[in-house]
Each structure stands twice: as C-alpha cells, then as structure tokens.
Structure 1
C-alpha cells in the first residue's frame, strides 16, 4: 500500500469513527433533511465532509476540493471538476444510513482535466478499503484484485430505476430485463462497484452519474479489469457529471452485451 493510500485510509477511517458511526441508528428526525425527492442529507454527511475536506487540504493545499454537500450548497463549486481536484462523497448511501441500514461508505477521488487519476472506497461497517491509481491496477486492503463474474446464466444485473421517468423505466424493463436475473440495487455506489468485481453482480446501469458517486468506483472497476463507460462507449469524465447513463460490468464482454441492448433515450 502506497504512502498516499495509507494517508487516505487513515483519513477515511477517522471520518467514519468520529463523524459517521456515532450517528448510526441514533439519528433524530431533526438531524435528517430532504435535499430533493428521494434524497436526504444528515448531520453525519456534513460533519464527515468537513473533516475530510480539512484533511485533504492539509494533505495537498494546492488542489481544489469538490464535496457533494458543498456543491449542493453552491453549485458553482462543480466548475472545479474540470481542473485538478479532490472529489468527496462523505457518506455514500445516505438514504440507507438515515434508515439505520447498511450499506454505506465514503468515496474519495483525485481527478485532473476531467479524468480520474486515483480513487478510494471505504466501507464504514466492515472497514473494506479499495484503492486504484490510473494504470496501476485495483486493490482491496493492499492486495491486488482481478474482477470476476458470477458465472451465472443469465448474468446478474443490478439496474437503477430510481431516477427514471415512467416511460423510460418501462423501456428498460421491456428491452433489458428479460436478458438478466435482476437483483436489488444497494443504493450505494461504494457497495455496487465492489459487487461488480467480487462475483456478486455482473452488470449495472446507472442513470445519474454524479462525480462524487462514480469517480472512485469507475476507475477502480476499470483497473480491476472490468469496464465502466457511457452506453456509447465513451469514457466516464467527472466534468460531465450531469450527463445521464453509465454501464458498469465485471468484464468488457458483459459490458458490450449490455451496451448492445441499451435503448437510446429517444426510444
């Protein structure tokens, strides 16, 4: 494990222990707020983001920081995604956390020019730590890993339908669902990306592609030998986070099979 990985792990673990886990299953109604339809924020999100941003600023004062809650408060912060920046999701899976349920975790990425250079995923319950650096492979707890499929026929798909309108949801169910065994999504990218490498799921479709949700996981899965890309095959870029549609798969072959089925938005 590199020095940087150790520093990021220490920071993530501290945020989990000091800002997140003390609120797990102890939140009051006043500590949970609605940000949008089917999207909440808690005191733990804000406390963790403050702690993480302070730590990253000390680690490298010259790099901008784009945190999920900072962008929510000031959308202009997202413009920093086109330059060198840290990207922080202080509590991924907040809806689960607010219900007192797992999974949830922390996501941090380092990007430059819209391209993710490094990514880290931390599971607050288990302490699982995933790390990846562009061109250097993917790791869990310092051990290099290779993405594996479930081996099932039909393949296992976790498809997010949450943010689709009714017409688009019906199209996805009609055109894609019959070709897969569908399983529930975890509502947590910090869990979904590892599932795609660890033989639990074969393929996923994501409608929303927010930078803080997908920067770390997309790099990690690609470095593990899976594939994450837009349905048209173009790479995921963090400064195109408002663009919709992303496919992640345990192998390039599984990715291609899903991309061949994926219906265009005009359908």
Structure 2
C-alpha cells in the first residue's frame, strides 16, 4: 500500500476510534488547561499516541514530533529543521471540539530538512481528506484540486489576529477594511488551508507559526497553486525564523493581500523586511 494510503487509513482509523466517539461527550475532567487560554483534551493525547505508534510502525526511521509531546518536552523541537521528521497535530481546533462544534481536524506532515514533503489534513466530521506531495500536486478525497482566484470583487480574508495586542489588532483590521472582506476565523488551521483551495476564502493571516499548524497546510495550498509565506515574503520553512504567515489562493491574491496587510499602515512588519 502506498505511503499516502497508509497514513490516510491510520488517520481515519484514529478519527473513528478516538475522536468522533467523544465528540459532544467529553466529561469535564477530560478537559485541561495546558497554558492560559489553551486547552487540551483526552482526545488530543490519545489521538497523538495512536498516530505516533502508527507512524513509527511505517518504518521510515523519521523522528516523530507531536503537539502534545512537544508541550510536555520543548526539547523535542530542537532540530526540527534537520533530517526526516513526522509532525502531528492530533486535534487541531481543540477549543471548537471541546465546545461541541466544528471545525476541528487532524494533520500529519512528513518533513525533510525543514521542507514539507507530504501532507494529510483530515476533517473527521465530514470525512474530507486533503493530501499533497511535493512536486506532485494536491488532492481532496482522491481527486486533484487546484486553487483559483475567486470571482468575488473583494477578496474574502480570515485574519488570525486574536493573539496580537488589542492596539495592533485594531490597526491590522483598519488596514484590512481598505480592500478585504474580513470573515470570522475558524480557529482551526486544518480548516483554514482547505478553505483557500476550495474557494471559501481567498486570504488567511496567521500570527503563530507552530510547526504542526502549518507544515501540512502550506504544502497542500502551494501544491494546489496557492502561495504561503512568512510575513517578510520568505517561503515557509519548518523550524525557520520567519514571523507569521500570509496565505492566499493564488499568487495574485497573495500580492493584493500583502499590499494591504504587510504595508506600513497595518504595522505587522518593518518595510525593510518585506523588501527582502
């Protein structure tokens, strides 16, 4: 069985056995706060254990780094930009899941020397599975997909600014009002990236760049013809030093969004950084 199908089957099995049986059925003691404003559930932990063991059994000899393991031991993130690596986000959108609502998802990426090689993004509720391999394009439920410029007059943008200080957040949204139709964010990167490819959104902005949040999504988007970079325009790299992420369905939409969100008016980055 091809690696693509082995990982897909593993993720679907974990979703069926661990994730969906507890959707809207979590007990209070199965939800913890791992840091201020950040929760973790028994599903995150059990899902990660199952995915870890399943990926290890594939025998690629790759290191395996999961979100919850890295939360417990930050040293696991040392050297994530070197060698062959599996990245696991066992339950993206945990807050949504814990509140009994969608979206939430599961993401796995295979990375080599900081560059994503393959990506899997599963929506356990809908059963949708997005996949990409570097240089081989992107698929959704096994069918090739290409992101394309939407017919909307004003690009639809989901701006992940909730971690910014209030004054900076207001500044970004004020700048966005000059050319973007700002939509509520799904609070789930496993949903944000497919929305760009499938035409629901045109632009997505992220402040945080935790590797398990973006490795799979950035590869899926770029293999579908979209563009995802750090705020300074450098290509996304796992373990890199870039700040933030700007993603769009097409390079033209990325440039239009960059002109608005990465300029001096929005105040996200220094103009000298953008020019490099």
1:143, CA displacement in angstroms? Answer: 1.1
Query: Are the aligned partners of 2:18 and 2:46 in contact in 1 as well (CA < 8 Å)?
Result: yes
Equivalent positions of 1:1-267 (< 5 A) are 3-83=2-82, 84-240=84-240, 243-261=242-260, 262=262, 263-265=267-269
TM-score w.r.t. the length of structure 1 is 0.95
Task: Name the CA shift for 1:231/1:266 in 2 (closer, same or farther; >3 Å).
Answer: closer
Report the Cα distance in structure 2 between the residues aligned to 1:18 and 1:80, rounded to whole angstroms.
32
SS at match of 1:41: strand
Query: Are the aligned partners of 2:232 and 2:242 in contact in 1 as well (CA < 8 Å)?
Result: no
Report the Cα distance in structure 1 between the residues aligned to 2:112 and 2:75, rounded to whole angstroms.
18
Report the Cα distance in structure 1 between the residues aligned to 2:209 and 2:173, rounded to whole angstroms.
20
Query: Are the aligned partners of 2:123 and 2:129 in contact in 1 as well (CA < 8 Å)?
Result: yes
SS at match of 2:132: strand
1:41, CA displacement in angstroms? Answer: 0.4
Gapped regions of structure 2 (runs ≥ 5)? 272-276
TM-score w.r.t. the length of structure 2 is 0.92
Report the Cα distance in structure 1 between the residues aligned to 2:224 and 2:44, rounded to whole angstroms.
29
Query: Are the aligned partners of 2:231 and 2:242 in contact in 1 as well (CA < 8 Å)?
Result: no
Task: Name segments (4+ residues, structure 1) moved above 6 Å.
Answer: none
Query: Are the aligned partners of 2:209 and 2:244 in contact in 1 as well (CA < 8 Å)?
Result: yes
Report the Cα distance in structure 1 between the residues aligned to 2:150 and 2:60, rounded to whole angstroms.
43
1:141, CA displacement in angstroms? Answer: 1.5
Task: Name the CA shift for 1:65/1:80 in 2 (closer, same or farther; >3 Å).
Answer: farther
Report the Cα distance in structure 2 between the residues aligned to 1:246 and 1:181, rounded to whole angstroms.
18
Gapped regions of structure 1 (runs ≥ 5)? none
Report the Cα distance in structure 1 between the residues aligned to 2:270 and 2:233, rounded to whole angstroms.
18
1:202, CA displacement in angstroms? Answer: 0.5
CA-to-partner distance for each residue in 1:5-54, whole Å, 9 max, x for gaps?
11011100111011111111011111111122321100000000000000
Report the Cα distance in structure 2 between the residues aligned to 1:41 and 1:264, rounded to whole angstroms.
29
CA-to-partner distance for each residue in 1:63-101, whole Å, 9 max, x for gaps?
100100000000000114122100000001101000001
Query: Are the aligned partners of 1:87 and 1:110 in contact in 2 as well (CA < 8 Å)?
Result: yes
Report the Cα distance in structure 2 between the residues aligned to 1:82 and 1:136, rounded to whole angstroms.
22
Report the Cα distance in structure 2 between the residues aligned to 1:133 and 1:203, rounded to whole angstroms.
22
Aligned residues: 265
Query: Are the aligned partners of 1:147 and 1:199 in contact in 2 as well (CA < 8 Å)?
Result: yes
What is the root-mean-square deviation in Å for CA atoms of aligned residues?
Answer: 1.4
CA-to-partner distance for each residue in 1:97-143, whole Å, 9 max, x for gaps?
00001111110000011111111100100111111011110111211
Query: Are the aligned partners of 2:107 and 2:190 in contact in 1 as well (CA < 8 Å)?
Result: yes
Report the Cα distance in structure 2 between the residues aligned to 1:51 and 1:80, rounded to whole angstroms.
24
Report the Cα distance in structure 1 between the residues aligned to 2:147 and 2:187, rounded to whole angstroms.
21
1:264, CA displacement in angstroms? Answer: 3.7
Query: Are the aligned partners of 2:148 and 2:249 in contact in 1 as well (CA < 8 Å)?
Result: yes
